[in-house]
Amino acid sequence: MPDSPPLPIRVLLVDDQHLIRLGFRMVLDAEPDITVIGEASDGFGAVRAVGELAPDVVLMDVRMPRLDGIAATAQIVQAHPDARIIVLTTFDLDEYAFGALRAGASGFLLKDAHPQELTAAIRAVHVGDATLSPRVTRRMLELFADRVPRAEQEPVIADTAVAELTERETEVFRAIAEGLSNAEIAATLFLSESTVKTHVGRVLTKLGARDRVHLVILAYQLGIATNGPRPPADGKARSVSWTR
């Protein structure tokens, strides 16, 4: 008996502008493995819809009336820890979007992202990877590196979870905070990519991080990464891979 095809990724659209929701729906409905199961026009509607529909991925605008995307993301993640949220913004360097990442979102994309970039982000977040717009990742981390508030639970984290990392895991943790991909970490530490991937998984587990995005944020909160991401060796701008 042939295997059944995988179920489509169920997506909830959240944006206060109807035309934007309509545009996203047209793009996503054209994908055979993605289906839009609902829409919401503000944060309150998003929180309610997640509870009722249990989407696999939420596309969340950050700037909305009544309840914005940051507050909505925080409420959703608190009630549904496994929720996968991609925040969307019009601005390259949007402090609101960064706040949503800190609130528990797993991705960050610009609203004018190419359709293939949007669908790839949905698929990546659905399987547990993190996604950030390659165009803004490095600059965003540089801009906010010295603005990330120190977490209230930092002493506990510093004295316990981080202390449990091995020397190699600590090196990998720092490299992730510097914006290096698995391939770059492997080259820097003279390891295979599969070994790096194993270390990344262990760091995520030991630190209780949702994904790679939050490892970066945590590193800045703990003062482990204080100088911003390391520039490429050739001095040229490039995309940053955030796949686990």
Q: Where are the alpha helices (DSSP H) in the chain?
A: 18-29, 43-53, 69-79, 95-103, 115-126, 137-144, 154-159, 167-177, 182-189, 193-207, 212-221
pLDDT band at 3 (very low <50, low <70, confident <90, very high): low
For the record, the structure tokens of 177 come out as: 């905070």
Reference 111, options 20, 30, 12; nearest CA is 20
pLDDT at residue 132 greater than cutoff 90: no
CATH T-level assignment (fold) for domain 9-133: Rossmann fold (3.40.50)
Residue 131's beta-bridge partner residues? 107
Which of the residue ranges 24-33, 108-117, 120-129, 230-239 would you say has the lowest mean pLDDT? 230-239
Rounded average pLDDT over 88-103: 74
The rounded mean pLDDT for the chain is: 78
Q: How many whole angstroms separate alpha carbon 207 and alpha carbon 126?
A: 21
User: pLDDT for 4-48, tens place per residue?
Assistant: 667 899 999 999 999 999 999 999 999 999 999 999 999 999 999
> Do residues 211 and 128 touch, judged by C-beta distance below 8 A?
yes
Q: What is the pLDDT of residue 151?
A: 47
Q: What are the boundaries of each domain within the chain? A: 9-133, 150-221
Reference 116, options 36, 243, 28, 5; nearest CA is 28
Give Cα separations from 19 to 1, 39, 119, 144 (angstroms). Answer: 44, 12, 19, 32
Name 122's Cβ contacts closer than 8 Å, sequence gap at least 6: 9, 11, 28, 34, 57, 59, 86
> Do residues 172 and 203 touch, judged by C-beta distance below 8 A?
yes
pLDDT band at 145 (very low <50, low <70, confident <90, very high): low
Other C-beta atoms closer than 10 Å to the C-beta of 175 total 23
Q: What is the pLDDT of residue 220?
A: 72
Cα dihedral 197, 203, 209, 215 in deg (nearest 10): -80
Domain 150-221: CATH architecture, name and number where available: Orthogonal Bundle (1.10)
Q: How many whole angstroms separate alpha carbon 217 and alpha carbon 209?
A: 10
Q: What is the pLDDT of residue 187?
A: 92
User: pLDDT for 149-208, tens place per residue?
Assistant: 444 444 455 547 788 889 999 999 888 877 777 888 899 999 998 898 899 888 888 888
Predicted structure pTM score: 0.68
